[in-house]
Amino acid sequence: MPDFDVKDLGLAKQGRDRTEWAEKSMPVLRQIRERFAKEKPLSGVKIAACLHVTTETANLAVTLAAGGAEVALCASNPLSTQDAAAAFLVKEHGMKVYAVKGEDNKVYYRHLNQALDIAPMVTMDDGADLVNTLHSARKEMIGGVKFGTEETTTGVIRLRAMAKDGVLAYPIIAVNDANTKHMFDNRYGTGQSTIDGMIRATNRLIAGSTFVVAGYGWCGRGLAERARGLGAHVVVCEVDPLKALEATMDGFRVMPISEAATIGDFFCTLTGDIHVVRAEHFLAMKDGAIVANSGHFNVELDLDALEKLASSRRKVRDFVEEYTLGNGRRVYVLAEGRLVNLSAAEGHPSAVMDMSFANQSLCVEWLVNSREALEKKVYTVPREIDEAVAMLKLAAMGIRIDALTEEQKAYLERWDLGT
């Protein structure tokens, strides 16, 4: 048995069944796994991976291992772990996994450190907590790390800030920036799974409600579109005038959060920003308002302020906490303000994680094979990887597309042909 810390190894069979179910919707990753198993491009590579430990991540971990890598896996959020998937990886793949759903912050960081104990050559992060821990508490290990990958918007923002400050110690690829990642995972994945988490937690009707979406980036637009599809009156809050304009012309009402706070039945933040919903907004909400976050960290909601405003607080359902305010109104916070889609539901559908994790796998392979000396900065995903993932996905979906004719290729390179 490897070193591990998971909830219950008895869940391994359930984890295998669920991981196999996810794999059915992950044809691109499956093809990569089959090739990796033959070519072993990651032989001898140690990877410390800090990701949401879901059945899709189990498929990624198995793919990396098929390529010859040794993987140690920890959770990238205290509430996002699927305990069955974690047990399956330990029991049936002998993998070092450190993740228990509901772990507190202390255990969360202990798990990050345990994953780092394998002395990784590669870090695979989701939100940059692993990289941050390495650069602060585990500096002695940095010399052995050659490269990294980062899965999400918030992580990429943090890493770019580190590179700007000259403290990033090795090159990292921003997997999030691949088109085949954020255009699908963030938009369709977060859109659907956030609704799923909010419904599973509350069982409330979305139709006819006023649904406030804060942030109209890739995740926010996905959620706004899906909430509209369920019959909600969707309100968008933004700070970027272009995004606000886009939301307006996409047919949504746009207004500041201070106004939206007074009319919303549901609220969800997806900004990557801090304290988007604050004390004055909680105070302005209607009795019974439901508040969630699907951005990476729970700082999007000022929960400390809410705690101070509340005269009482109690759990009323799984993942639903009732705060009764001094004004007598009740506000319901879902999943402690943590990513609601991964806490109260199962995260993104496998079909989008197929592309995200195909990018992860191919980026690690690319980094390991890279002959050029890479700088200590954040790289975008090589275009050929992004296009290869799109072509493989289309092929797996049975969709064929046109190719440019020679005449068209020549035409598109000319400037002298007009009307």
Ligand X SMILES: NC(=O)c1ccc[n+]([C@@H]2O[C@H](COP(=O)([O-])OP(=O)(O)OC[C@H]3O[C@@H](n4cnc5c(N)ncnc54)[C@H](O)[C@@H]3O)[C@@H](O)[C@H]2O)c1
Q: Does 341 bind ligand X (CB under 6 A)?
A: yes
- Residues 345 and 366: their CA atoms lie apart, in Å, by 33
CB nearer to ligand X: give 40 or 160: 160
Q: How far is the CB of 216 from ligand X (least distance, A)?
A: 5
CB nearer to ligand X: give 309 or 353: 353
- Residues 344 and 347: their CA atoms lie apart, in Å, by 9
Facing residues of 71 across strands?
47
Asked whether the beta carbons of 209 and 266 are under 8 A apart, the reply is: yes
Within 342-381, the residues that bind ligand X by CB under 6 A are 342
Q: How far is the CB of 257 from ligand X (least distance, A)?
A: 6
Facing residues of 236 across strands?
213, 254
Q: How far is the CB of 379 from ligand X (least distance, A)?
A: 18
CB nearer to ligand X: give 227 or 276: 276
Within 133-162, the residues that bind ligand X by CB under 6 A are 152-154
Picking from 214, 233, 230, 335, the residue whose alpha carbon sits closest to that of residue 278 is: 214
Give the binding-site size for ligand X (rule: CB under 6 A). Answer: 29
Query: Using CB under 6 A, which of 67, 120, 191, 272 touches ligand X?
Result: 272
User: CA triplet 155, 289, 202: central angle to 5 degrees?
Assistant: 75
| Span from 88-96, 280-288, 291-299, 397-405 in contact with ligand X (CB under 6 A) | 291-299
Q: How far is the CB of 308 from ligand X (least distance, A)?
A: 21
Q: How far is the CB of 155 from ligand X (least distance, A)?
A: 7
Within 166-195, the residues that bind ligand X by CB under 6 A are 182, 186, 190
Q: How far is the CB of 2 from ligand X (least distance, A)?
A: 28
Within 201-240, the residues that bind ligand X by CB under 6 A are 214-220, 237-240
How far apart, in Å, are the Cα atoms of 48 and each of 107, 145, 321? 17, 10, 34
Percentages helix, strand, coil for the chain, rounded to the nearest 5? 50, 15, 35
Residue nearest to ligand X (CB): 217
Asked whether the beta carbons of 19 and 58 are under 8 A apart, the reply is: yes
DSSP secondary structure letters along 330-368: EEEEEGGGS-HHHHTS--S-HHHHHHHHHHHHHHHHHHH
Asked whether the beta carbons of 89 and 65 are under 8 A apart, the reply is: no
C-alpha R_g of the chain: 22
Q: How far is the CB of 269 from ligand X (least distance, A)?
A: 8
CB nearer to ligand X: give 205 or 274: 274
Question: Residue 376: what are its φ and ψ, rounded to 5°?
Answer: -85, 75
Asked whether the beta carbons of 32 and 2 are under 8 A apart, the reply is: no
Query: Using CB under 6 A, which of 111, 296, 338, 393 touches ligand X?
Result: 296
Asked whether the beta carbons of 380 and 173 are under 8 A apart, the reply is: yes
Q: How far is the CB of 40 from ligand X (least distance, A)?
A: 31
Helix (H, G, I), strand (E, B) or coil at 25: coil
Query: Using CB under 6 A, which of 15, 41, 295, 337 touches ligand X?
Result: 295
Q: How far is the CB of 411 from ligand X (least distance, A)?
A: 34
How far apart, in Å, are the Cα atoms of 402 and each of 73, 183, 318, 392, 399? 41, 21, 49, 15, 10
Query: Using CB under 6 A, which of 276, 325, 389, 390 touches ligand X?
Result: 276
Q: How far is the CB of 118 from ligand X (least distance, A)?
A: 25
Helix and strand totals (H; E) in the chain: 18, 15
Largest alpha-carbon pair distance within the chain? 73
Summarize as ranges the residues that interact with ligand X (CB under 6 A). 152-154, 182, 186, 190, 214-220, 237-240, 243, 270-273, 276, 294-296, 339, 341-342
